[in-house]
Structure 1
Amino acid sequence: MVNTLARSVLALDEEIAAVDAKIAARFREHRHAEVILSMPDMGPLLGAEFVACTGGDMDAFGTAGRLAGVAGLAPVPRDSGRISGNMRRPHRYHRRLLRVFYLSAQIAARFCLTSKTFYDRKRAEGKSHKQAILALARRRLDVMWALIRDQRTFEAEPPQRGLAAV
């Protein structure tokens, strides 16, 4: 009985690997695939889920802030009467899109030096782990938006200003 169960588990593992390979191959055909994969710790499966959540068209959102609002990474006001400036996490948001950036930020906080530095800075500011990861996720969303908008790949060093004028 154990032998039969072990074979079925191995067969399922092979089937999952085959499906992952098909997803990755299909994702690499997308026009933004190279840009998305250039982001540190954004693999083909998370990239494919990002494309599926956004419909593959970033123009539908207009700005990075709108995309962050849809993903649940932008605070919404909780004002009433004369009280203003109270911000909170939204209750309604695209959970799969938030998951893409949350998982990406969690992985980047461990393995990407730039993201780890940002995460450590947020933790030093007194934020909890979840708050620091969400802040990193929002930052990564903004970077992803800029990369797709400018049609360029991610580079560890930011572009230098003023070189075009010289």
Structure 2
Amino acid sequence: MRALTWNGVNDLTVERVPDPQIINRQDAIVKVRLSSVCGSDLHLIGGYMPAMERGDVLGHEFIGDIVEVGSDVHRRSVGERVVVCSFFGCGQCWYCQNDLWSLCDNANTNPGLTELTYGQPLGACFGYSHALGGNAGSHAEYIRVPYADHGAFPVPERKAGRRRLVELIRPKAPRMAQRLIDDVFDALDEQTVVVPGTGTLDIVIPSLAASLAAVHTQRRALEAQINALLEAHPLSPVLTSMPGVGVRTAAVLLVTVGDGTSFPTAAHLASYAGLAPTTKSSGTSIHGEHAPRGGNRQLKRAMFLSAFACMNADPASRTYYDKQRARGKTHTQALLRLARQRISVLFAMLRDGTFYDPRIPEDVELAA
């Protein structure tokens, strides 16, 4: 089938991709009839949403016809026209039972990434990066809809037009059918609707807009102050020489790491950032290394987003990432390992006061 795919920042193409298949017994396959472009799609196109991969299909607002259902789908059936929520949930967990569908515990197959980025695991969304499940989007001919019983809603029959109503009434009133329908539509055209509160909105909305404009002005002023302070800092040229480290990331690094002298080794810095594997042990056994859940979340998030941003800007980082993927690591695992590798390089830069060199320092021990 044909689909709109993301191939990089500001790079979208219509490509031939495999047709979706039933993977879970609660899935449905929907033939897309209408798919809307959401403003949040701009975040994906501009590269502001992490965890996008080349070939990902966009789109999360759509309507279509069900063409296939899994064996555990009981509320929906083949042939139904449905509108589907952009976020979807299992319908069984605590969040879904309390109508907090975007926080579903089960729908997102990669919750660790949003927990790392936002401090809270999120649910799953169509066509919105692997951080939200890596589900193919709706800008395609067909789409797989997980948990179809809970996220796909039937669309009422289309409204009957003037001609259809005449055909329905003519058997009962053959001489008056056309005139009756004309009178009905004339009466409908004369009806008006008054929405209470619209007058108040004329006062509230300009006030809110002015407040929002003031906030933006304050943010710009604060950003200018941060830029000035950063440029005056002696370590600013060192930090910003590293691909993927801009003003915000450099500011986070200076606040959380400083000049790096409080960390004896790169491993200590990685542990502080929550990027070093931890060993779970009890009184009688050691259970091996696991992904850390602690560390400085602000620093961890900055290093993760920095690693994501530099993949297409720094050949050395891309090579390291591709090597990890070739070893069977997932997208998130490879990014975390790249972040761990970069924090070792960062430590060496701060220790020696040198600018970024794409070659990996030989005297820095990297994560396995």
Shorter chain as denominator, the TM-score bin is 0.7 to 0.9
Q: Does the 8 A contact of 1:61 with 1:67 survive in 2?
A: yes
Does residue 23 of structure 1 match 2:259?
no
- Given residue 53 of structure 1, which amino acid in structure 2 is its aligned partner? T
Structure-to-structure mapping, 1:129-148, within 5 angstroms: 129-148=331-350
Deviation string 1:119-159 (CA, Å, 9 cap, x unpaired) is 12212221112111110101110111111111111134568
Post-superposition Cα deviations, 1:24-79, rounded to whole Å, max 9, x if no partner, equal 2112222211110100110121111111112x241111111001001111111123
- Tell me which of 191, 216, 224 is aligned to 1:13: 216
Contact 1:27–1:48 (Cα < 8 Å) also in 2: yes
Alignment match, 2:246: 43
> What TM-score, normalized to structure 2?
0.40
Looking at structure 1, the residues matched to 214 and 317 of structure 2 have their Cα atoms a distance apart, in angstroms, of: 37
Equivalent position amino acid for 1:63 in 2? T
Identity fraction in percent: 36
Structure 1 residue identity aligned to 2:253:
F
Within the alignment, does 1:155 sit opposite 2:357 as a pair? yes
Question: For 2:261, what is the secondary structure of its paired residue?
Answer: helix
| Partner secondary structure for residue 78 of structure 1 | strand
Q: What is the deviation of 1:80?
A: 3.9
Q: Which range is displaced more, 112-121 or 127-136?
A: 112-121
Q: Is the 8 A contact 2:274 2:294 kept in 1?
A: yes
Letter in 2 for 1:10: A
CA distance in 2, matches of 1:29, 1:134: 31
Q: Report the more deviating stretch, 126-135 or 10-19.
A: 10-19
Q: 1:157 to 1:57 in 2, by over 3 A?
A: closer
Higher strand share: 2
TM-score for the superposition, normalised by structure 1? 0.83
Corresponding residue of 1:32: 235
**1:31-110 equivalence runs, <5 A:** 31-54=234-257, 56-80=258-282, 83-84=285-286, 86-110=288-312
Computed over aligned residues only, the root mean square deviation of the Cα atoms, in angstroms, reads: 2.3
C-alpha distance in 1 between matches for 2:312 and 2:360 = 21
Contact 1:20 1:45 in 2 (8 A): no
Structure 1 residues 112 and 68, CA gap change in structure 2 (3 angstroms): same
For CA contacts below 8 A with separation 6 or more, give which structure has more relative contact order.
Answer: 1
Give the total of aligned pairs. 159
Instruction: Determine the C-alpha separation between the residues in 1 that align with 2:347 and 2:314.
Output: 19
Tell me whether 6-15 or 118-127 shows the greater mean CA deviation. 6-15
Per-residue Cα deviation, 1:85-131 (whole angstroms, up to 9, x for no partner): 60012333111111111111111124322212221221222111211
**Compared with structure 1, are the counterparts of its residues 158 and 68 closer, same or farther at alpha carbon in structure 2 (3 Å cutoff)?**
closer
Q: Secondary structure at the match of 2:245?
A: coil
Consecutive unaligned residues of structure 2, counting only runs of 5 or more, are: 1-201, 362-368
Aligned residue in 2 for 1:122:
324
Aligned residue type for 1:45: R
Cα distance in 2 for partners of 1:110, 1:9 equals 34
Separation (CA, whole Å) in 2 of partners of 1:98 and 1:134: 9
In the alignment, structure 1 segments of 5+ residues that lack a partner are 160-166
Name the CA distance, whole Å, in 1 between partners of 2:288 and 2:263: 25
Return the index of the structure with the highest Cα Rg.
2
Q: Secondary structure at the match of 1:41?
A: coil
